[in-house]
Structure 1
Amino acid sequence: MDLGLEGRAFLVTGGTRGLGFATAEALVEEGARVVVTGRTEEGVRSAVESLGDQATGVAADNGDPDAAGRLVDAVVSAYGRLDGVLVSVGGPAPSSVLTTGDDAWRAGFESVFLGAVRIARAAVPALSADGAIAMVLSSSVRSPIPGLAVSNGLRPGLAMVVKELADEIGPKGRRAVGIMPGRIATERLARIDAANPAGAERNTATIPLRRYGAPPEFGRVAAFLLSPAAAYVTGCVVPVDGGLIRAL
């Protein structure tokens, strides 16, 4: 199936590794051009080298209030258009409600929640007539993940932002979707599992497919949802989880 991505231009935040990089790879493979972001210049350079001449990069932190406008301008400057955005950001550190201080909650809110809102707000005026914004959420939208209190607190609210955004931009043909990764074999998940190998075995047993997902399996779904092939998909949160989430 042709996703209709040839020549289109996308912003992929957190695109230097993990789920963001996997999405950037899938977009480039389908003929799109991408601007990827990451927190370090070195990470950005490495990702752009891997993606090839259809990619450029900008070092930026989603939590920086000035980042959103700068990133949207970078895509339009590089490619003359903006057809979609994937908002991905590394999750907050493991935490609990009772032991996590105010500063950690504020940092998580700035990076995960408000950073995503700012990027969406900056992107919409530049977005093409059939463009799309996708936000990478978490299975914690439906059910909390033990030991990730800050993420559990923020992701469900961001899912409702996706629903509201879809209502606001839908009348002009634009779309907003959320994507809920389950246990995808990223570097971050490897670090979490390394601290509790027995927990990793239990986690795999709860997935109907009995394995973690591979990042490209997530990236291909994200590329589809951002593409014209998904033109009637909006205002929803799509799981990519191997059947992990038991709720409808």
Structure 2
Amino acid sequence: MKIDFTGKTALVTGSTQGIGFATAKLLQESGATVIVNGRSEEKTQQAVQRLGGNTRGIAADLGSSEGCQALVEAAGDVDILVNNAGIFGMKDFFETDDEVWDEYWQVNVMSAVRLSRAFAPAMMKKGWGRIVILASESAFNIPYDMIHYGVTKTADVSFARGLAKRLAGTGVTVNSILPGPTMSDGVENMLSGPAKESGKSINEVAADFVMQARPSSIIQRMASVEEVANMIVYVCSDLSSATTGASLRVDGGVMDTL
């Protein structure tokens, strides 16, 4: 199989690090012109420099309609939209006020809604396009300690399925991706302290964490950001033309369902 994005422009939101950066890197290596996005101008330009090649960066905070509109106007024509921007954090339900719920909803759900609404019409007109939404296994396996996060990810899966139906027959596919525990930059930083204290490697501590927090994991470790990016890039390619409206797991077998 050969994946070639020559002549395609891809926008990956939240792509200064982690899964987003790994996805941008793989898309670029496969021939795409890539637009990197982050909230900070400094971090966005640092990501552009790390990627090199045919890459440009647009800093925009996607937690508001104004930020999304600024990104749309600066990006121009886009063939591939990867809605990766998102936030997460543990907080007890009874301590999670309306402001937190709204913040998560705006970033994790509405940014994907707004950007998809803006970019899909041109894709439809061309008869080709790819829209990917980063959800999570938490969409189905709702965490008791961050219900607000899980609810937004369930909404992402529903949105992707509904939009795929709306775009039926247009040549534009829409899918959601369900990562499980993943060794992102943030997770690695979180585990660095326990690793030093225990004398174990980061990977060993990560595996212990997975088996404690997600004991149903079949791979019994965290996925790498590259492993998640592989699935994203596949569904962005021509090879995935018959895959749409799907919620695709990269969860290491955490979800104990057929």
TM exceeding 0.5 = yes
Tell me the distance in 2 between the aligned counterparts of 1:193 and 1:207. Answer: 19
Give the alignment partner of residue 230 of structure 1, picking from 220, 232, 240: 240
Q: Is the 1:204–1:211 Cα contact (8 Å) retained in structure 2?
A: no
Q: Is the 1:35–1:74 Cα contact (8 Å) retained in structure 2?
A: no
Tell me the distance in 2 between the aligned counterparts of 1:36 and 1:9. Answer: 11
CA gap of 1:144–1:190, structure 2 versus 1, over 3 A, is farther
What does residue 64 of structure 1 align with? 64
2:101 counterpart letter in structure 1: W
Q: Is the 2:27–2:233 Cα contact (8 Å) retained in structure 1?
A: yes
Q: Deviation at 1:126?
A: 2.6
Question: What aligned pairs does 1:149-188 form with structure 2 within 5 A after superposition?
Answer: 149-188=147-186
TM-score calculated relative to the size of structure 2? 0.88
Question: Any unmatched runs of 5+ in structure 1?
Answer: none
* Deviations 1:33-69 (CA, angstroms, capped at 9, x unpaired): 1101001011101110111121100111111212333
Q: Deviation at 1:218?
A: 0.9
Higher relative contact order (CA 8 A, sep 6+): 1
What does residue 74 of structure 1 align with? 74
What does residue 138 of structure 1 align with? 136
Q: Deviation at 1:18?
A: 0.8
Moved more, 67-76 or 93-102: 67-76
Q: Deviation at 1:193?
A: 4.8
TM-score calculated relative to the size of structure 1? 0.91
Tell me the distance in 2 between the aligned counterparts of 1:147 and 1:65. Answer: 28
Secondary structure class of the residue paired with 1:234: coil
Q: Deviation at 1:188?
A: 2.6
Question: Any unmatched runs of 5+ in structure 2?
Answer: 195-204
Q: Is the 1:39–1:61 Cα contact (8 Å) retained in structure 2?
A: yes
Identity %: 27
What does residue 127 of structure 2 align with? 129
Q: Is the 2:210–2:217 Cα contact (8 Å) retained in structure 1?
A: no
Tell me the distance in 2 between the aligned counterparts of 1:139 and 1:175. Answer: 21
Secondary structure class of the residue paired with 1:82: coil
Q: Deviation at 1:154?
A: 1.2
What does residue 243 of structure 1 align with? 253
Q: Deviation at 1:195?
A: 8.2
What does residue 93 of structure 1 align with? 89
Give the alignment partner of residue 115 of structure 2, picking from 119, 123, 131: 119
Tell me the distance in 2 between the aligned counterparts of 1:173 and 1:148. Answer: 36
Give the alignment partner of residue 106 of structure 1, picking from 71, 89, 102: 102
Q: Is the 2:216–2:256 Cα contact (8 Å) retained in structure 1?
A: no
Q: Is the 1:62–1:116 Cα contact (8 Å) retained in structure 2?
A: no
Q: Deviation at 1:163?
A: 0.7
Secondary structure class of the residue paired with 2:44: helix
Tell me the distance in 1 between the aligned counterparts of 2:104 and 2:193. Answer: 22
Secondary structure class of the residue paired with 2:65: coil
CA gap of 1:193–1:94, structure 2 versus 1, over 3 A, is farther
1:26 aligns with 2:26: yes
1:120 counterpart letter in structure 2: S
* Deviations 1:149-176 (CA, angstroms, capped at 9, x unpaired): 2111211112111111001112211110
What CA RMSD, in Å, does the superposition of the two structures yield over aligned residues?
Answer: 1.9
Q: Deviation at 1:190?
A: 3.2
Q: Deviation at 1:202?
A: 1.9
2:173 counterpart letter in structure 1: R
Secondary structure class of the residue paired with 2:27: helix
* Deviations 1:76-104 (CA, angstroms, capped at 9, x unpaired): 2xxxx421100012323211221111111
